[in-house]
Amino acid sequence: MSVLTLRHAPPERLDLSGITPDRLAGLSEAEAARLPVGTSRLGLVLGDCFSLALDGGEELRLAGGSDRLDRVGEALAGGTITVEGDVGQRLGAGMRAGTIRVSGSAGPFAGTGAKGGLIAIAGDAGASAGGAVHGAMGGLDGATLVIGGRAGDRLGDRMRGGLIVAERAGDLAGARMVAGTLVAGTIGDHPGYGMRRGTVLVERHGALLPTFVETGTQDLVFLRLLAKALDALALDAVTLDPRFAALARAPLARRAGDLATLGKGELFTPLG
């Protein structure tokens, strides 16, 4: 396992988008230490902030974190990145495969545009986790994003595919959703604003939009498949509570929306 040890709190935001196991594989420690990570005109390189111990393998551990570490695991194509601490914005942005585990919390836009692989955040996530950045066509796009703590507002904003599981989330979860599945414990007001398609399954929610309409109780094959997928995920992601799979098996009320737009999305909540 390769280890990057954060020596001190970063003096500025760092861009770690090029720091993935496959990119480090062919480099000596001296070469890797010269990779640019700074975002100011001072031109910080990896070695300015981290001590490096590389073995060329598929596992990379960041010992020490900070909310200034942006784009950790961006475009990851395989292997594992483990962060002991917090990360900044766009964790795992556009990743295609592999696993990213964060023991602390993440900034906004975690998993934006991620097409495959697993992102597991033990702590909280900022706004628009699994959501789209300004002007992007979509948020999470096929990957799996698990948040053990509270996600901010607009969880899964404009997500196009994949699965998000979060313990709690703020307002407007699943806003502008295009496709995919979002499972959460308690979420805030107005879930699914502008949602076109996709599925939101929650234990509790705040105020609902007037453009979601009840469609009764249905026994859907999809929910059984989702429960199995959540069972399998619970084995993979240590942060996932098994009660989410139980939620998918419980009797559920279904609402369709957002009728302001296409209206092919659905919001499931426990009956009663």
**Interface with another protein (CB under 8 A):** 11-13, 38-42, 67-68, 70, 89, 108-109, 132-136, 158, 172, 175-176, 190, 193-194, 207, 209-211, 213, 258-261, 263
CB 209 to another protein: min, Å: 5
CB 8: neighbour CB atoms within 10 A?
A: 10
CA distance 50 to 187: 37
CA distance 156 to 94: 14
Q: Which is nearer to another protein, 135 or 251 (CB)?
A: 135
CA distance 141 to 160: 5
CB 249 to another protein: min, Å: 31
Run of H or E residues at 178: none
- The one-letter code for the residue type at 54 is L
CB 263 to another protein: min, Å: 6
Q: What Å distances lie between residue 118 and 24, 78, 97, CA to CA?
A: 20, 10, 7
Q: For residues 103 and 120, is the Cβ–Cβ distance under 8 A?
A: no
Q: Which is nearer to another protein, 61 or 115 (CB)?
A: 115
Phi and psi dihedrals of 249, rounded to 5? -95, -10
Cis amide linkage into residue 258, ω under 30° from 0: yes
CB 177 to another protein: min, Å: 12
CB 194 to another protein: min, Å: 6
Q: Which is nearer to another protein, 79 or 107 (CB)?
A: 107
Going by their DSSP bridges, the two strands 265-270 and 252-257 should be labelled as antiparallel
CB 156 to another protein: min, Å: 14
Q: Which is nearer to another protein, 162 or 192 (CB)?
A: 192
Q: Which is nearer to another protein, 168 or 190 (CB)?
A: 190
Tokens 């957002």 found at: 258
Q: Which is nearer to another protein, 167 or 171 (CB)?
A: 171
Q: Which is nearer to another protein, 36 or 57 (CB)?
A: 36
Q: What is the DSSP string of 93-136?
A: TT--EEEEEESS-B-TTTTTT--SSEEEESS-B-TTTT-PPTT-
CB 232 to another protein: min, Å: 34
